Amino acid sequence: MTDQNIPSTRGAVDLSALAHQGSEATQSAPAAAASWTTNLDQGAFEQFVGMSQQVPAIVSLGSPRVQVSVDLDATLRKLVDAKGGKFILGLVDAETYPQIAQAFQAQQIPMVVALIKGQPVPLFQGPAAEEQIVQVFAQLEQLAVQQGMSGTAPAFSGEAQQGEPELPPLHQKAVDAIDAGDYAAAEAAYLEALNEKPNDKDAQIGVYQVRLLSRTHNLDLAKSRDKAAQNPDDIAAQLDVADLDVVGGHVEDAFGRLVSLISRLADEDRERVRRRLIELYAVIGNNDPRVAASRQKLARVLF
What ranges do the domains of the chain cover?
Answer: 16-146, 169-302
pLDDT tens string for the chain (303 positions)?
Answer: 444 444 444 333 444 444 444 433 444 444 357 889 999 887 788 788 888 888 999 999 998 888 899 999 999 999 998 888 889 999 999 889 888 888 888 888 899 999 988 888 889 888 888 888 888 888 888 888 888 787 788 888 765 544 456 788 999 898 888 877 888 999 999 999 999 999 998 899 999 989 998 998 888 888 999 999 999 999 999 999 999 988 877 889 999 999 999 999 999 999 999 999 999 999 888 888 889 999 999 999 888
Contact of 144 with 150, CB cutoff 8 Å: yes
Q: Which helix (H) or strand (E) holds 82?
A: helix 67-82
DSSP letter, residue 283: H
Q: Choose among 237, 59, 213, 54: nearest CA to 142.
A: 213
Number of Cβ within a 10 Å radius of residue 95: 14
DSSP string, 153-210: PPPSBSB--SPPPPPPHHHHHHHHHHHTT-HHHHHHHHHHHHHH-TT-HHHHHHHHHH
pLDDT at 5: 46
CATH topology of domain 16-146: Glutaredoxin (3.40.30)
Give the 3-state secondary structure percentages of the chain, helix then strand then coil, rounded to 5.
55, 10, 35
Read off the pTM. 0.53
pLDDT tens digits, one per residue of 200-252: 988 999 999 899 989 988 888 889 999 999 999 999 999 999 999 888 778 89
- Taking CA atoms, 113 is separated from 36, 72, 87, 221, 270, in Å, by 16, 13, 12, 21, 38
The predicted pLDDT at position 47 comes to 82
Burial of 245 (0-12, 13-18, 19+ CB in 10 A): buried
d(CA 11, CA 24): 28
CATH number of 169-302: 1.25.40
Would you state the pLDDT for residue 274?
96
Contact 298, 262 (CB under 8 A): yes
